[in-house]
């Protein structure tokens, strides 16, 4: 009982101290808050497994230069669902077909939102594009426009005149080089070709002059920034570091340059006569302006919305298609028997015609298998565009905290030996008479994603890739420069916004057909 007076005395002393010393009281209050938070958070969550993390940086040291490869290796130890911390950001990494299906189909609405990195916020007008826009009425309307107006099979086919025009120019450039026996930097040519086709389809005419050069330069910088590292994305309280390093200035300068060019292009289209007498030849920008003018949208779209969508399509389509075509030519050169088989099919189908028709490509079954196998082995985006969990969720029995960023490792899934026979080998034949497709229904093969957030430009990309490759294989045979051979072919990749060859492929073209491409 003697303890009671002592306790009362201590309480009175404590009361006097807290009244006299506000700082002490504030400190105590903060400690109590921390204690309450700890008690509240004391419910033990069943979190996904993870390797030990370091203070402050978390698991960033485990990323490596090719994080999709690093994460595939980690998954062998920690399983197909890992909860890593990249700096201060909880990050769920998925390397399983089954879990990917759960996220993109079964619980698609739970995981439907996108992460919003600093570069996308700045370059894409606050993420007003289709890829990064938050789920909601605006995003639904924009996707509906893409699916029903901009990228329908009929509309994609109607762009054939742009693809043909640019392909003829590319073949003529290569033919001129072949007359001198010179090697060409095919990788760089394919980037230019993709850019020209995409700008022709999206912006209405192919910008071969000063504007195109400037737009391509800014587009390349934007691509590097979108795929680059921003300190503030992983350590939100230290975004000022990106200011000191000059990343924010580069981001703002690029954004302002693109903004001015896009404004100029839009105003040019507004003031010019559209192809009203040829509705099948309308470009993406013309269709959007027409919908805006005729009031056919549920919600008005602003000038910035237009620019975000156009930029999204230009950057996304240019980089994915050029990288895929370069990998295709690389793998065919590495596997001469596959090259021979593909060329024999293309030349048999086309015959002695003056040009490769799009109808011809529809009959090239083996070429389509080559493209599928390239998309399996070398998906342009090894990680699908990251998602962000808004509220806590359950996934395969694990508790996933809110604000977790979700990375689906398509590269790892598409090389999973449990799903694919000889997964590291280039075997286009695996897709012959095989119903597995990349349109989002087969979750072991998801280069374009799936579900609500699946890429709406699948047909646009694959038709472009197949058509240009068919021309390259029809008109020319190909040799390594300087006496090099298959063993000298560099297969390393570098990862940014897309995974492309570290060393662009350089080859010697040999004209096969006596008829010049026209």
Packing angle between helix 458-475 and helix 186-203, nearest 10 degrees?
140
The pLDDT of residue 324 is above 90: yes
pLDDT at 193: 95
Taking residues 71-100, report their average pLDDT.
97
The pLDDT of residue 15 is above 60: no
Taking residues 414-441, report their average pLDDT.
96
pLDDT tens string 387-421: 999 999 999 999 999 999 999 999 999 999 999 99
The pLDDT of residue 509 is above 90: yes
Output the known binding site for heme: 455
Output the known binding site: 455
CATH topology of domain 60-511: Cytochrome p450 (1.10.630)
Tokens of 464: 């472009």
CB-neighbour burial class of residue 406 (10 A; exposed 0-12, middle 13-18, buried 19+): buried
Per cent of the chain over pLDDT 90 is: 77
Estimate to the nearest angstrom the gap between the alpha carbon of 128 and the chain centroid: 16
169 vs 271: which has the higher pLDDT: 169
pLDDT tens string 344-378: 999 999 998 889 999 999 999 999 999 999 999 99
Query: Tokens 């071969």, residue?
Result: 208
Q: How many CB atoms lie within 10 A of CB 15?
A: 10
369 vs 287: which has the higher pLDDT: 369
| Per-residue CA distances from 34 to 31, 39, 40, 44 (Å) | 5, 9, 10, 17
Question: If you write DSSP's letter for every residue of 82-96 in order, what string do you get?
Answer: EEEEETTEEEEEE--
pLDDT at 319: 93
Tokens of 92: 């769920």
216 vs 92: which has the higher pLDDT: 92
| Per-residue CA distances from 449 to 153, 328, 376, 440 (Å) | 19, 20, 12, 6
Spatial CA neighbour of 413 closest among 384, 370, 393: 384
pTM (2 d.p.): 0.89
Taking residues 232-239, report their average pLDDT.
94
The pLDDT of residue 83 is above 90: yes
Sign of CA dihedral 255, 256, 259, 260: negative
Spatial CA neighbour of 405 closest among 142, 103, 139: 103
The pLDDT of residue 287 is above 60: yes
Tokens of 237: 């309280």
CA distance 149 to 197: 19
Query: Tokens 């990862």, residue?
Result: 495
Mean pLDDT lowest for which of 278-292, 406-420, 475-489? 278-292
Where in the chain is CATH 1.10.630.10? 60-511
């Amino acid at each position: 009982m003697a303890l009671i007076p002592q306790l009362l005395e201590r309480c009175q002393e404590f009361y006097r101290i807290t009244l006299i010393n506000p700082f002490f009281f504030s400190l105590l209050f903060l400690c109590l808050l921390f204690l309450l938070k700890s008690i509240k958070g004391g419910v033990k969550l069943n979190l996904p497994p993870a390797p030990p993390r370091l203070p402050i940086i978390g698991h960033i040291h485990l990323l490596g230069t090719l994080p999709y490869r690093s994460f595939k290796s980690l998954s062998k130890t920690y399983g197909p669902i890992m909860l890593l911390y990249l700096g201060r950001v909880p990050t769920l990494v998925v390397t399983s077909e089954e879990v990917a299906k759960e996220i993109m189909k079964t619980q698609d609405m739970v995981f439907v939102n996108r992460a919003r990195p600093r570069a996308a916020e700045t370059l894409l007008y606050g993420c007003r594009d289709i890829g990064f826009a938050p789920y909601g009425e605006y995003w639904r309307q924009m996707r509906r426009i893409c699916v029903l107006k901009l990228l329908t099979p009929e509309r994609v086919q109607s762009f054939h005149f742009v693809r043909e025009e640019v392909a003829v120019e590319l073949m003529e450039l290569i033919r001129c080089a072949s007359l001198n026996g010179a090697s060409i930097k095919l990788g760089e040519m394919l980037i230019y070709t993709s850019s020209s086709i995409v700008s022709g389809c999206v912006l209405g005419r192919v910008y071969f002059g000063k504007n195109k050069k400037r737009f391509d330069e800014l587009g390349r910088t934007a691509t590097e920034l979108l795929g680059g590292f921003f300190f503030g994305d992983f350590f939100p309280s230290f975004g000022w570091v990106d200011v000191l390093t000059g990343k924010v200035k580069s981001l703002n300068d690029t954004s302002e340059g693109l903004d001015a060019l896009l404004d100029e292009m839009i105003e040019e289209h507004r003031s010019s006569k559209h192809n009203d007498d040829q509705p099948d030849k309308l470009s993406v920008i013309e269709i959007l302006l027409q919908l805006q003018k005729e009031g056919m949208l549920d919600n008005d779209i602003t000038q910035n919305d237009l620019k975000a969508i156009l930029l999204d399509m230009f950057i996304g389509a240019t980089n994915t298609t050029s990288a895929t075509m370069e990998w295709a030519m690389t793998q065919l050169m590495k596997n001469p028997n596959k090259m021979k088989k593909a060329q024999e099919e293309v030349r048999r189908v086309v015959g002695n015609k003056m040009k490769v028709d799009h109808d011809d490509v529809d009959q090239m079954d083996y070429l389509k298998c080559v493209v599928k196998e390239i998309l399996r082995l070398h998906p342009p985006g090894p990680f699908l565009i990251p998602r962000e969990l808004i509220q806590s969720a359950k996934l395969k029995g694990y508790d996933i905290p809110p604000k977790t960023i979700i990375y689906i490792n398509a590269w790892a899934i598409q090389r999973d030996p449990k799903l694919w026979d000889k997964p590291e080998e280039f075997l286009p034949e695996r897709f012959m008479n095989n119903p597995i497709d990349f349109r989002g229904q087969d979750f072991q093969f998801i280069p374009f994603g799936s579900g609500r957030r699946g890429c709406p430009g699948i047909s646009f990309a694959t038709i472009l890739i197949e058509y240009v490759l068919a021309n390259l294989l029809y008109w020319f045979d190909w040799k390594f420069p300087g006496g090099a051979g298959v063993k000298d072919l560099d297969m390393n990749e570098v990862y940014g916004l897309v995974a492309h060859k570290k060393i662009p492929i350089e080859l010697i073209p040999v004209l096969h057909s006596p008829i010049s491409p026209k």
